A and B are shown apart, each in its own frame.
Chain A
Amino acid sequence: MQLLIFSILLPFLTAALIPLIRRRIGNFNIGWLVLFIPVLLFGFFASQIPMVSSRETLLSSIEWIPSLGINFTAYLDGLSLIMALLITGVGSLVVLYSIYYLSPTDSFPHFYAYLLLFMGAMLGVVLSDNLMVLYVFWELTSMSSFLLIAFWYHRKNSRYGAQKSLLITVFGGFAMFAGFLMLYAMTGTLSIQETAAVMGQLTEHALFYPAMFLILLGAFTKSAQFPFHIWLPDAMEAPTPVSAYLHSATMVKAGMYLVARFTPIFGGTSAWFWTITIVGLITLFWGAFCAIRQTDLKALLAYSTISQLGLIMSLLGMGSAALRYGNTEAGALYGLAIFAALFHLVNHSTFKGALFMVVGIIDHQVGTRDIRRLGGLMALLPVTFTFAVIGSFSMAGLPLLNGFLSKEMFFTASLNAASMPGLFSTSWGWLIPVIAWLASVLTFIYAMIIVFRTFLGNRDSKAVEKRPVEPPIGMLISPAILSILIVGLFFAPNLLGDHLLKPALEQLLPGISGASPDSIYAWHGVNTELLMTIGIVLIGSVLFITFDRWKGIFKIQPAGWTFNALYNYALASSENAASFVTRSYMTGRLHQYFFYILLFFIVSTGGTLLLSDALSISFVQDAPVSIYELMLVLVMIITAISILFTRSRLSAILMNGVLGYSISIFFVLFRAPDLALTQLVIETVTTALFLLCFNYLPEWKREPLPKRKKARNAVLAIAGGLVITLTGLSVNSADLFETISSYFQNSYELAGGQNIVNSILGDFRALDTMLEGLVLFIAGIGVYTLIRLKLKKEAGTDGD
């Protein structure tokens, strides 16, 4: 069924359509038109739920570059379906919200084109089964994220944030790409399904661990894991709908998706288990710790997102141990962690999406997001307040909201991981639940900050001039739907669990039964998990009330010792180093450039020739040299030498022409009429071009060079000529490969042309010719632009 592939392409097609229709339908309507796309796709994916819940999968494939094993294969299973529903579902809500959020001065067509680009790319990431296709879409999400963060590109911070996110995520993307190539080298297939099937026998392969770590690097950078988390807070310069969509609900989950998707491939090894668990836990704690001290609501949400992503990541790490134990009780206990990860992944998208939208409303209606200037908004924005309470309390893990369920499961999983005997337990295992609990206390505190600092307390009427009112109804619909989901998922979690989470889990942990709970219960009786939650509420409340007394703790970290400072330092110093290196050789002197080029050529080509022992000269097979050829050679030698001694530029140009025409006569002698023709015409056009430029060139004078430099240039010139001559002779003498020219001799049968040269150009190697045409075109535009630019500059200075 090709509908699946079409669903990936639909957003791209719509994005391409927007520039064509923008004038005709106006800003407002573009939003409504775009809204139609994710809603339609959501409907399509929702209609696949029955199929997936009956444990079936959908595969749809188009050959793309079959000779390299690259096929556009879309694969829909439980995990992909969860992600696809999130992408299209949250996407619909965000598009609806953004119609009212954007101001009329913003460029709607750009915004929605980028957003659709992202949506398509993200669907491509989660639906691709082919590693190369996945990589292409993966980088496309980085690109569209870059464009969206820099949407308000007139702001310096937006540009900084966009560049930072691009540099970090693309760095990770490259690492991941290298990892994919290693996987391909190991398995010989680019399909994820096939890789998973054969990977079991390859754990001893030398590339196993390098590939694993490189792919994890991609996942960690994308999902803002410590220490790569620093790009996410700066990405908050994007419009709030973008933050809600890309930087909390979908794009940052791509790393989670990747880790989950590769769990069947790498899972079960202790390196995978510990790397992901430890990085996840550090991120969980550090994100929550940093969130508390933020005064900008969006920055707070950014760090809280980092923290929650760390939580999901650590769960995926813990759950991977299930693959080591297989279908045993221990395997099932570990496997619960992955179930919890998937569950929390969905829950986080609902409550964090709602919270971002709430912050967007506050920013939009009040004009600031600074906690210090906000307060007492409850009476003015009662509806928004309700959504904020639901979202924050769910994030804090309070009962009656979906966050409670997944948080309890998280505690269960961390307690399991700590208490399980076997390969993965160490004496440090008890730290896992402790860190989990500590981070949850911090989470509770910042969730309270969002609610109480913003909506309760006294309103600082001086700081905020205009009296805020509730936003238009269109902005409230999306957070309302998410809030209903938050509550609804608490009361009916099994609807999600049975139809989506369980099928996904069974595919990630094949053959392990009992990993997913029979059904999700809110009430387990009084157990350790519940006591932990009660402890969080009690201690968290005390700490929240006494926050002013202990916030001095944040000053412990010296100001200059942050990862941000490191990033800025690395960026600045690499720029300095690059400009230093460039300045050292870009002197603007043509003869120096020639020196570099020739030297490089002589060293690389001549060196290779010597080192590989390829120098072989024999004249045995050569045809006898005729008198005409000798005469031509003589003419060329005399012309070439006399160019050196001419005193005027005109005669140098003409003699250069003599050389060119002589070469074309050689082509005639060697019976290559096509080459001769082309060489003749090129020579004519070049000479005409030279004559045209003649007027503009400065007077020709010899540069007075010291003897030593002259000698150096002479040696270099002779060496260059020698290397070319030797290479040519060696190529002609050596018989390394079987000749392929016999294939081209069949050109009349294969391509219908008697002219072999032309058949090669137009048929056998048409791709080369096409790209050469493209290069020629780009060069032409380049020349045109350079000259036009210069003309404009001159005109500009004349005007002053």
Chain B
Amino acid sequence: MGINDVILKTVAKAVVLIIFTFGIYLFLSGHNSPGGGFVGGLVLASAFVLMFLSYDTETVKDAIPIDFKKLSAFGVLLAVLSGLGPLLFGQNFLEQSFDYFNLPIFGKTEIATVLIFEAGIALTVVGVVVNIILSISEDE
């Protein structure tokens, strides 16, 4: 993917940041408004895809040294392990808990264990999508 396009590269620099922010927002807000781990992960993945499209693979890999295979494996592991946690407290596998806390700046905030599970799913999605796209683009 050695496209040499100044406009695309310049726009991508700004847009990638926006997409990342949006992806993280979607991931965090999924509990109470549209979003969630899956779609958040997909949006993050599309940011990576944009980067790979506008710059060449090597540059991006040097800048972001993440092994996406390992990232997806880590995501699956996190999702499965988050299910094992409740067993320690005598609950069923994958049973989620939540409670409300009063935090200094945010005020009354809900903290739910489902966030860990969703993080696992999001990381899996990012890892798998980027990994597939990278494998295909490297196949020459």
Give the one of A751, A752, A767 with max B CB within 10 A.
A752
CB pair A689 B76 closer than 8 Å: no
- Residues of chain B with a CB closer than 8 A to A770's CB: 79-80, 83, 94, 117, 121
Q: List which B12-35 residues lie within 8 A (CB) of chain A.
A: 26, 30-35
> Could you tell me if A758 and B35 are in contact, using CB atoms closer than 8 angstroms?
yes
Contacts of A26 in B (CB 8 A): none
Q: Does A762 sit within 8 A of B, measured CB to CB?
A: yes
Complex interface residues of chain A between 677 and 692 (CB less than 8 A to chain B): 677-678, 681-682, 684-685, 688-689, 692
**Chain B residues near A767 (CB, 8 Å)?**
83, 93-94
Docked complex: A754-779 residues within 8 A CB-CB of B: 754-755, 757-759, 761-763, 766-767, 769-770, 773-774, 776-777, 779
Assess A685 versus B45: contact at CB under 8 Å? Given A692-B137, A783-B135: yes
B45 to chain A: closest CB distance in Å? 6
Pairwise interchain contact B124-A773, C-beta atoms closer than 8 A: yes
Please, what's the 1-or-0 string for A55-79, where 1 marks a CB less than 8 Å from any CB in chain B? Answer: 0000000000000000000000000
Closest CB of chain B to A683's CB: distance in Å? Answer: 10
Residues 76-133 of B contacting A (Cβ, < 8 Å):
76, 79-80, 83, 93-94, 96, 98-99, 110, 112, 114, 117-118, 120-121, 124-125, 127-129, 131-133
* Contacts A757-B36, A762-B117; A787 near B135 (Cβ below 8 A): yes
Q: How far is the CA of A774 from the CA of B72 in the complex (A)?
A: 9
Residue picked from A674, A758, A769, A773, most chain B C-beta under 10 Å: A773
Determine whether the beta carbon of B33 is less than 8 Å from that of A681: no
Which residues between 516 and 544 of chain A lie within 8 Å of chain B, taking CB atoms?
Answer: none
A753 at the B interface (CB under 8 A): yes
Q: Are A773 and B31 in contact (CB under 8 A)?
A: no
Contact of A777 among B53, B76, B96, B138 (CB under 8 A): B76
Q: Is B7 an interface residue (CB 8 A)?
A: no
Q: Is the CB of A20 closer than 8 A to any CB of chain B?
A: no
A767–B121 Cα distance when bound, in Å, is: 12
Q: Is A788 an interface residue (CB 8 A)?
A: yes
Contacts of B37 in A (CB 8 A): 761-762
Q: Are B33 and A754 in contact (CB under 8 A)?
A: yes
C-alpha spacing A788/B134, complex, angstroms = 11
Find the A residue at minimum CB distance from B68: A780
**Residue pair B96, A762 in contact (C-beta under 8 Å):** yes
Instruction: Specify which chain B residues have a CB less than 8 angstroms from the CB of A773 in the assembled complex.
Output: 75-76, 79, 120-121, 124-125
B residues near A678, Cβ cutoff 8 Å: 38-39, 42
In the assembled complex, the Cα of A777 lies from the Cα of B73 at a distance in Å of 7
Docked-complex contact B96 and A790, CB < 8 angstroms: no
B49 at the interface (CB under 8 A from A): yes
In the assembled complex, how far is the CB of residue A689 from the closest CB belonging to chain B, in whole angstroms?
Answer: 6
B35 in contact with A677 (CB, 8 Å) = yes
A674 touching B39 by the CB < 8 A rule?
Answer: yes
Q: Within 8 Å CB of A783, what residues of B?
A: 131-132, 135-136
Q: Does B5 lie at the interface of the complex (its beta carbon under 8 Å from any beta carbon of A)? A: no
- Checking B34, B72, B120, B139 against A755 with a beta-carbon cut-off of 8 angstroms, the contacting residue is B34
- Once the chains bind, are B39 and A777 in contact (CB under 8 Å)? no
B69 at the A/B interface (Cβ < 8 Å)? yes
Q: How many angstroms between the C-alpha atoms of A563 and B88 in the bound complex? A: 52
Minimal beta-carbon separation of A394 from chain B (angstroms): 50
| Residue in contact with A685 in the complex, picked from B35, B36, B42, B98, CB distance below 8 Å | B42
Is A774 in contact with B132, judged by CB distance below 8 angstroms? no
Contact partners of B96 in chain A: CB under 8 A:
751, 762-763, 766
Taken together as a complex, chains A and B put the C-alpha atoms of A541 and B6 apart, in Å, by 99
| Given known A693-B136, A752-B112, A762-B96, contact A674–B124 (CB-CB < 8 A) | no
Instruction: Report the separation of the CA atoms of residues A776 and B37 in the bound assembly, to the nearest whole angstrom.
Output: 14
Judge if A715 is at the interface, Cβ distance under 8 Å.
no
For A693, what are the chain B residues with a Cβ–Cβ distance below 8 Å? 136
Partner of B131, one of A763, A769, A784, A791: A784
B39's partner among A677, A754, A779, A784 (CB-CB below 8 A) is: A677
Taking a contact as CB atoms under 8 Å apart, the answer to whether A681 and B136 are in contact is no
Is the beta-carbon distance between B72 and A752 smaller than 8 angstroms?
Answer: no
Contact call B125/A776, Cβ cutoff below 8 A: yes
Residue pair A780, B131 in contact (C-beta under 8 Å): yes
Q: Which residues of B contact A (CB under 8 A)?
A: 26, 30-39, 42-43, 45-46, 49, 53, 69, 72-73, 75-76, 79-80, 83, 93-94, 96, 98-99, 110, 112, 114, 117-118, 120-121, 124-125, 127-129, 131-133, 135-139
The 3 closest A-B pairs by CB, nearest first: A752-B98, A780-B128, A673-B34
- Interface positions of A (Cβ within 8 A of B): 673-674, 677-678, 681-682, 684-685, 688-689, 692-693, 696, 751-755, 757-759, 761-763, 766-767, 769-770, 773-774, 776-777, 779-781, 783-784, 787-788, 790-791
Q: A755-B35, A758-B35 are in contact. List 16 more A-B contacts (CB 8 A).
A: A674-B35, A674-B39, A677-B39, A678-B38, A688-B53, A752-B99, A753-B31, A754-B31, A755-B33, A759-B31, A762-B31, A762-B117, A770-B79, A770-B80, A773-B124, A790-B139
Instruction: Return 24 A-B CB contacts under 8 Å, by A number.
Output: A677-B26, A677-B35, A678-B39, A688-B53, A689-B132, A751-B98, A755-B31, A755-B33, A755-B35, A758-B30, A759-B31, A761-B38, A762-B31, A762-B114, A766-B94, A773-B120, A774-B80, A780-B69, A780-B129, A781-B69, A781-B72, A784-B69, A784-B131, A787-B138
